[in-house]
Structure 1
Amino acid sequence: MKHLIIGGVAGGATAAARIRRADELAEIVLIEKGPHISYANCGLPYYIGGTIAEREKLFVRTPESFGRRFAIDVRVENEAVGIDTEGKTVTIRRKDGSEYTESYDKLLLSPGSSPVRPPLQGINLDGIFTLRNVEDTDRIKQYIDSHCVKQAVVVGGGFIGLEMAENLHHVGAEVSIVEMGNQVMAPVDFSIASHVHRELMNKGVNLYLNKGVEHFEKEGDGLKVFFNTGESIYADIVLLSIGVRANTQLAQQAGIELGERGIKVDEYLETSAKDVYAVGDAIEFVHPLTGQPWLNFLANPANRQGRIVADNMVMGNVQSYEGAIGTSIAKVFDLAVGSTGLAAKRLKQLGIPYQSSTTISAVHAGYYPNSFQLTTKLTFDPETGKLYGAQCVGSEGVDKRIDQLSIIIKNGGTVADLTRLEHAYAPPFSSAKDPIAIAGYAANNIVSGAMKVLTWRELNALDRDYITLVDVRTAVEHEIGSIERAINIPVDDLRERISEIPTNKPVVVFCAVGLRGYLAQRILLGRGFTDVRNLSGGYKTYSLATQEIKNKKKMVTTSKETVDTVADILRVDACGLQCPGPILKLKKAMDNLEEGQSLQVKATDAGFPADAEAWCATTGNSLEQSDSKDGFHTVTIRKGRVSAPTADAPVIEKNKTLIMFSDDLDKALATFVLANGAAATGHQVSIFFTFWGLNLLKKEHKPAVKKDIFGRMFSWMLPSSSRSLSLSKMSLLGIGDRMMRHIMKQKNIYSLEEMRQQALDNGVEFIACQMSMDMMGIKKEELLDEVNIGGVATYMERAEHANVNLFI
C-alpha cells in the first residue's frame, strides 16, 4: 500500500508517523512545499520576542531525522500542483521548477491555511509582515535585528496578533494594536475581552478599536498607517494578523467537493474523491453543538485528525471523528484567556436560546499566598441547563478549568454536572469550593429560578427611573466607585434598612462579584419583594465592560471629513463582495444591533451606496453618511424603529414572488441575486420553479428512484443539476459556461450554488410545480430537501400578498 501525504506540519506529520506504526511495510511519501516539517508554529511569536532563545527548539523533527526514524520518504521544497483522482496520481513541482508525477493508493491532504493579506494600497512596502511559518519568522527576526524598531503596529486583535504585540513589547517597541471590531479576541464575549483591554492598557499598549486600516505609506525609514477615520499613526514595523484562509485551491482544481470555506469531508475524514482524505486547517467539519460546518484553525484537533485518518487509510474507514468545539487558550502578558464551546455572541447569532452566568472566584485558597481571581463565564440552555460554552480569564489556573469544562461540554453535560466534579484540593492548588463548582452552583440557581440575573449590557439598557439600583457592598467600596444612581445599603444592614427600598419598582442588586448580591436578593424575596435581580459578575464585570479605552499616543487627523465618534459602533468589512453580498452582510449585522446603535459598512461594489440607501428607505433605518474614496464605499447606518400600522391605516403588502421558468445559467443567477436582495429588506420572498426551472433544484447526488420510460428520457435530456446549466447566449459548447463561472470566482462573486444556499438561509421559499414534476418524471427525492411542492393555487396565494411578481 502506497500512502502519499501532502503537507508536513501538524496533521500530515502525525498521520505519517501513525501509518508507519500501523503498517511497517507500507510505502509512505511526505510532500512539503516548505523547507521544514513538524515545527512548533505556535511558538513562533515567542522566538521573535526572545522567550524562546534558540531557533532549533522550534523544530520537533528535522526532515532527515523524521524520515530515518519512521522510514518515510520526506521531500521538502516539493509542491503538489495537481491531482488526478481518477488516475490516482499527483503532479509535484520541485524547487527548481521541474515537475514529476507520483502515484498513490491513498492520498492525504493537509495543506493548512494562509494568512489574509488584503489588497490595500502600500501593503507590499518593506516592513509589513505576516506570521505563519518559520520563513516568516526569520524575515521578521532579521528585520528587527537590522532596524531600530521603536514603534510597532499590529493590525488585528486575534490570538497571534496579541501574542505578537506582547513579544514586540518585549523587544522594546511601543506597540499599537488596530482592530476593526469593538474588542480584541473576537471568539470570546465582550465582557471577557474587557479583561484583555485593561491588561494591554496597563502594559502601555495602545489600543485602537473600531478602526480599520485603509492604506500604508512610506515615511522616512518607517511607515505611516492610515485608518478609515482619517487618522494615522507611525510605525517602524507592521505585523498583519487579520486572519487566515483555508488552502483549498489544490482540492478544488481536482474536482474535490468544497463547502462554504473549506474542504468537505465525511465522518471518516474522507473527501468526495475515493481514497482521498483531508485534515487540519483546510477542512470544514460539523460542529458538535450547532450541527453546522465550521473551520477550526487549532493544532490539537489537527493532530487528532491525523491519528484518526491514518487508521482509516490503513485499515479502511474504521474510526469516525466526533468534531471539535474550539477549545483554545492564549497568554496576553500576565493574563491567560481560555474559551471552549459557544460564546453568548455566537449563540445570539445562531438564534439559540441561552442564559449566561459570570462568577469570579479565588483560583486557590485565599489564605495561601498569591491567590489570583479567576473569572468564569458559562453559557447554557435556560430550561435544561445543558452547557453550551465556557470562558475563563485570569493570571493562573485557566488551563486546568477550561480543559475540565470542555470535557463536560463535549459529552453533552449540564451545569449540574459541574457541581459533581471531584477536584484535587490543597491550598496551593484550589479551594474547597473550586471555581468550576461555584460557577456550576450559580448557573444551577439560574436554571431553577432561585436567582434571577441580568447582565451588564441588560442593565445599561434599562431606564433607571423605573428601577431601584442597590449597591450592597460596604460604604468604602461604594465611595471608591459605583454604578450611577445606585443607593448604598450594605448587605449586613439590609434587613434594618429595607424600608428605604421602594416596593413598587423592580430592584436590581449588585456587589463586587455577585455573591453578596445573591444573599441580598434572597433577603428581599423572603420579605415580600417579587421582582429582584442580581447583576451577574457584579460591579467588577460591569466596570470592566464599560471602561474607557485610553492610549498614551496622540492620533494625527489627516482629513477634515466627519468622523463618527460613537464608542460602540459596529464596523463590517464587505470589501471584495459583489451584489448582493454587501447588502446581505449589512442586514446580518444590523439584525444584531439595538435601536439607535450604528453600523458602518465598507465595500468595493460601486452600486452599494445606492443599494444601501434604498434598503434604508424600505426598512425604517437611517442612512447617516455615505463616502466614496479610492474605490472604497463606506456607509454609516443607524438602526431605527419600524412603526406598526395603526388600526385604520391601510396594510401594504411588500412580499415578492418570482416564477422561474428557465434553466439558463445567466437567468438563474439573476433570479437569486434578485431574491437575495429582496430578502435583505426583511420581506417574504417566494420562488415558483416550473418546467425547466426545476433543474435548478436538483441535488448533485441524487438517490435512485423508479421512473417510467418518459421520466428516464427526460433525465437523459435535461441537466443533471445546477452545475450543468448553460448560458442562454455564448455558451459555445460549454466554453462560455465555464468561462462565466471562472470569472465569477476570480472577481469574488458568489457562485450560483452559493447564492441558492444564501437564499434558503435568508428564508426565501422554494416551491416546485407539482404538474411540471409529474410531466417530466421528476421525483421529490431528487430535489433539495428544503423545497416545498405546490401547484398554481399555492403560487396565486403568495402572489396576492406580494407587490412584485416577476416571470423569468
Structure 2
Amino acid sequence: MTTESLAMTENSTDEEAPGLRIVVVGAVAAGTSAAAKARRNTEAARITVYERDLDISYSGCGLPYFVGGEVERVDQLTPRDAAWFAERYGVEVRTGHEVVAVDAAARTVTVRDLATGRMFEDGYDELVLATGVRPVTPSIPGVDSPGVFPVRAPSHARAIDTWITERDARRALIIGAGYIGLEMAEQLTLRGLKVTVVEAAGHAMPRMDPDMSARVDAELRKHGVDLRLSTTVTEIRGDHDGVTGADLLGPDGATEHVATDLVIASVGVRPNTELARQAGAELGPTGAVAVDRRQRTTVDHVWAVGDVSESFHAITRDPVWVPLGSTANKTGRIAGDAMTGGTLEHRGILGTSVVRVFDLGVAQTGLTEQQARTAGYDVEVLHNIKPDRPEYLGGRPLVIKAVADRASGRLLGAQAIGASGADKRIDILATAITFGADVADLFHLDLAYSPTYATTKDPVHYTGMALANAIHGRAPLITPAELDRRRSDGEKIQVVDVRSAKDRAKSAVPDSVHIPLADLRTRAAELDPALPTITYCNKGVTGNAGQNVLRNLGFTDVANLSGGNQNYQAHAGLRG
C-alpha cells in the first residue's frame, strides 16, 4: 500500500469543534509542533502532551557537540521547557508521564506517572502519536555492559560526558558510521580521545554513493580516526566496572581485539510503533506507521507524525522512512493544522541532509546513482569539481555529484562534499528537484555572486551546463566506474589525456594516450576515429574542450571523463 493510495479516514473535523480534546504522545520536534500549530488555529481545544522523558523539544542532532565541548551546557539544547510551552500556548505538557496503552474504540489512553507509579486514563477526540524512535541495540555479547551508550536523548549525552570525565577516558569505539557515528567520531577526537569507528558496510556514510563516501573515509583517517570498514563487533569485553575492549571481525575473516574505555552504539534507530499497532493502525512497507498526506493513520481520529510515521519520496512517490528533525517539524505542523480545520498537506521528502565531518561538509538530496538505477531511470552522472569561491579569496574544492534522467532531463539527486559551500549548493539543488527542474534550468538560476561567497558561474551553474550538454547536446559523460567496467568487459576504448606534461607526471588514467589540448588538432590523426574515445583533464573542463575538438574533427563517439583525473584517482583509491 503506497502513501498516495492509503484510504482516507475520518480523523479531521471539517469545522472547529468547541472543546476539542487533543492528546499528543511525545514532546520532541513533531509532538510540540503539532500542539503548537493546533493551538495557533484554535483557542477552543484542550491540548495535553504526555512525554515520558523530562526534556521536551530538544535538539537531538546537537547532542554530540555537547559531548565534544562545542556546546557548553546540555540545557542549551533544550531551550523550551514545559512551563514555557504552557505559558506561550496554553498547552499542558506532562513530562515523566508514559502513555502505556491506547483504546481507539473508546478514544482513551492509559498513562503512567513515572514518579509515583500511578495509572490513570485520559480521553481524546484526536490522538497524535509522536512516539519517535528508539536506538537499535546490536545483538552483541556485552552490549549491556557499563560504558556502552546510545546517543538519542540529553540523558545519554550527560551520561557519556560524565563517564569520560570521571574515568579520564582516553579511547572510544564507535559502532556505526552514519550521521551520529560521524559526529561523535569528530567530537570525541577533538576532545582528545583516540577513536576507532567500526562500520559493517564498505564505507562510512553508507547512504551516499561509494565514490562520494570514500571521500568521507579519507577525511576520517586524515584526522587520526581508526576506521574499520566491512568489519563487525563480535563481542564487547569488560567487567562490572565497565568496558575494556571489543573483539572485531574484519573483511578477511581475521579477528582482532581493540582496547577501549567506552563504546558508542550508533547502528541506527527504529520507529516506536507499539502504541500505533495497539490502536490498530497499519504499518507501511518501511515498518513505520502508514499515513496519508495529512498524517492520518488508518484508524479514525489517530494521527502519526515525526520519526514514527512513514513519508513518501518526492520523486518516485514510493513510501520512504528517513528520520530527520526537519521532516518531523513539518509533519507535526501538518497534523496540528489538519485536525483543527486547516488545509496543509505533506508534499513528500527528498531526504536532504548535511553533516560536518572535521573540515568537510557532507550533503545530499534526492536519489543517489544507485537508487536512481534501481528505480529504473537511465541516468546521466556528473562529478563536478570546482572551488566554492575564487581561489584568490581562499576558495577550496567542492565536489558535486549530480544524477539526472536522460529521458526527461530532470534532475534526480545530488551529493556535495567540500570545506565550505556544500550546504548552500545542496539546498539550491533540493529546491530545483522539488519543483521538477530540468538540468538545463540550473544554468539560468539567478544566484547571488560576490567573490567572497561564490564564483561568477557558480558550481550549480556548471553542474547544469555539463549535464545539459551531456543530455541535450553533444558532450556525453562517462564515470570512472563505467570506464573501468567497459574496459574489463573487453571493449577497446582509446583514452586521451589532454593535460600538460607536468600534470600527467603526477598521475594519469592507466593506458591513456597523452596529447595536450594545444596539440590535439594537429595530432588527431594519431587516434582512430572509429573507436570509442574518452577525453580527460584534471577536473573536466579541459577534457570537455578536447571532446569538442575531436567531435568537430569527425569523431562520433567521444565522452568526457566525469570529474577528470582527480575523480578517477579517487575512484582508484576506492578500489584499493
Residue aligning to 1:794 = none
Mean Cα deviation higher: 187-196 or 274-283: 187-196
1:214 to 228, 234, 250: 234
Letter in 2 for 1:323: G
Q: Which residue of 2 aligns with 1:629?
A: none
Question: What CA RMSD, in Å, does the superposition of the two structures yield over aligned residues?
Answer: 1.7
**Over residues 371-415 of structure 1, what are the superposed CA-to-partner deviations in whole Å (9 max), with x where a residue is unaligned?**
112111111110211111111111111111111111111111111
Match of 2:153 among 115, 133, 153: 133
Is the 8 Å Cα contact of residues 317 and 348 (structure 2) preserved in structure 1? no
| Unaligned residue ranges in structure 2 (runs of 5+) | 1-19
Match of 2:283 among 242, 249, 258: 258
Shift of 1:416: 1.4
- 1:539 partnered with 2:565: yes
Q: 2 CA distance for matches of 1:88 and 1:185?
A: 43
Equivalence for 1:67: 86
Matched, 1:22 2:41: yes
Which residue does 1:385 correspond to in 2?
A: 409
1:338 alignment counterpart:
363
* Structure 1 runs, 4 residues or longer, greater than 6 Å off: none
Per-residue CA shift, 1:327-369, capped at 9, x if unaligned?
Answer: 11110001001111111111122233222111111211333x1
Q: What is the aligned partner in structure 1 of residue 10 from structure 2?
A: none
1:2 partner letter: R
1-side partners of 2:331 and 2:279: how far apart? 22
2:184 maps to: 164
> Do structure 1's residue 524 and structure 2's residue 550 form an aligned pair?
yes
Corresponding residue for 1:82? Answer: 101
Query: 1:246 deviation in Å?
Result: 0.7
Indicate whether 1:179 and 2:199 are aligned.
yes
Counterpart of 2:311? 285
* Map of 1:103 onto structure 2: 123
Q: Which of 429, 434, 443 matches 1:405?
A: 429
Aligned to 2:9: none
Q: Which residue of 1 aligns with 2:59?
A: 40
Does residue 1:312 correspond to 2:338, yes or no?
yes
1:232-264 per-position Cα deviation (integer Å, ceiling 9, x unaligned): 222222111111101101111121111121101
For the pair 1:9 / 2:38, whether they are aligned, the reply is: no
Query: Offset of 1:42 from its aligned partner?
Result: 0.8
Quick one: distance in 2 between partners of 1:502 and 1:353? 29
* Partner of residue 4, structure 2: none
From 189, 199, 213, the equivalent of 1:193 is 213
AA of the residue aligned to 2:124 = Y
Tell me the secondary structure at the aligned position of residue 187 of structure 1: coil
Q: Which secondary structure does the structure 2 equivalent of 1:267 belong to?
A: coil
List aligned pairs for 1:324-363, cutoff 5 A.
324-363=349-388
- Tell me if the contact between 2:47 and 2:92 (Cα under 8 Å) persists in the aligned partners: yes
SS of 2:386's partner is strand
**Which residue is 2:167 aligned to?**
147
1:452 aligns with 2:476: yes
Superposed CA deviations along residues 566-619 of structure 1, whole A, max 9, x for unmatched, are: x78xxxxxxxxxxxxxxxxxxxxxxxxxxxxxxxxxxxxxxxxxxxxxxxxxxx
Match in the other structure for 1:736: none
Offset at 1:127? 1.8
Please report the TM-score for the alignment, with normalisation by the length of structure 2.
0.92
> In structure 1, what is the Cα distance between the partners aligned to 2:45 and 2:503?
70
- Asked if 1 retains the 8 angstrom alpha-carbon contact of 2:63 and 2:74, the reply is no
Q: 1:477 Cα deviation (Å)?
A: 1.1
Deviation at 1:514, TM superposition (A): 0.7
Distance 2:51 2:254 in 1: 43
* Partners of 2:530 and 2:556 within 8 A in 1: no
- 1:238 corresponds to 2:246: no
The question of whether the paired residues in 2 share the 8 Å contact of 1:384 and 1:447 is answered with: no
Counterparts of 2:192 and 2:249, CA distance in 1: 25
Distance in 2, Cα, partners of 1:231 & 1:182: 17
The change in CA–CA distance for 1:274 and 1:437 in structure 2 (over 3 A counts) is same
Query: Does the 8 A contact of 1:112 with 1:246 survive in 2?
Result: yes
> Is the CA contact (8 Å cut-off) linking 1:376 and 1:391 kept in structure 2?
yes
Quick one: which amino acid aligns to residue 378 of structure 1?
A: A
- Indicate which of 407, 431, 442 corresponds to 1:418: 442
For 2:235 and 2:375, the matched residues in 1 are separated by: 34
Pairing 1:365–2:390 present = yes
2:298 maps to a residue whose letter is S
* Alpha-carbon distance in structure 1 between the residues aligned to 2:482 and 2:23: 55
Any idea what SS the aligned residue of 1:497 has?
Answer: helix
Letter in 1 for 2:526: E
Deviation of the 1:212 alpha carbon? 2.0
- The residue number in structure 1 matching 2:3 is none
Residue 320 of structure 2 corresponds to residue 270 of structure 1: no
Q: How many residues align structurally?
A: 548
> Aligned AA for 1:222?
T
C-alpha displacement at 1:449, in angstroms?
4.0
- Secondary structure of the equivalent of 2:339? helix
Equivalent residue number for residue 662 of structure 1? none
In structure 2, distance between residues paired with 1:41 and 1:57: 12
1:513 deviation in Å? 0.8
**Which piece of structure 1 moves more, 430-439 or 55-64?**
55-64
- In structure 2, distance between residues paired with 1:50 and 1:442: 43
**Residues 50-71 of structure 1 deviation map (CA, whole Å, 9 limit, x = unaligned):** 1111222111201222222221
Q: Distance in 1 between matches of 2:371 and 2:117?
A: 46
Partner amino acid, structure 2, of 1:354: V
Q: How does 1:480-629 map to 2 (within 5 A)?
A: 480-547=506-573
Alignment of 1:299 onto 2:325: yes
Aligned partners of 1:47 and 1:53 also within 8 Å: yes
Secondary structure, counterpart of 2:213 in structure 1: helix
Shift of 1:519: 0.5
Letter in 1 for 2:216: V
**Match for 1:525: what amino acid?**
R
Greater shift after overlay, 463-472 or 285-294?
463-472
- TM-score, normalised relative to structure 1: 0.66
Q: Which amino acid aligns with 1:493?
A: D
Distance in 2 (CA, whole Å) between partners of 1:546 and 1:248 is 44
What is the alpha-carbon distance in structure 2 between the residues aligned to residue 63 and residue 310 of structure 1? 18
SS of 1:263's equivalent? coil
SS in 2 for 1:547: helix
1:437-459 CA-to-partner distances (Å, cap 9, x unmatched) read 10000000111141122111112
**Deviation sequence 1:455-488 (CA, Å, 0-9, x none):** 1111222337722222211111111111222222
Give 3-state SS (helix, strand or coil) of 2:28's partner: coil
Pairing partner for 1:115 from 125, 135, 154: 135
Asked if the contact 1:225/1:235 (under 8 Å) is kept, the reply is no
**In the alignment, what sits opposite 2:15?**
none
Looking at structure 2, the residues matched to 140 and 323 of structure 1 have their Cα atoms a distance apart, in angstroms, of 36
1:322 aligns with 2:341: no
DSSP-derived class of the 1:330 partner:
strand
User: What secondary structure does 1:188 align onto?
Assistant: coil
- Greater Cα offset, 463-472 or 44-53: 463-472
Q: Distance in 1 between matches of 2:496 and 2:401?
A: 23
How far residue 536 of structure 1 moved from its aligned partner, in angstroms, is 0.5
Alignment equivalent of 2:505, drawn from 472, 479, 487: 479
Cα 1:408–1:253 change in 2 (3 A) is: same
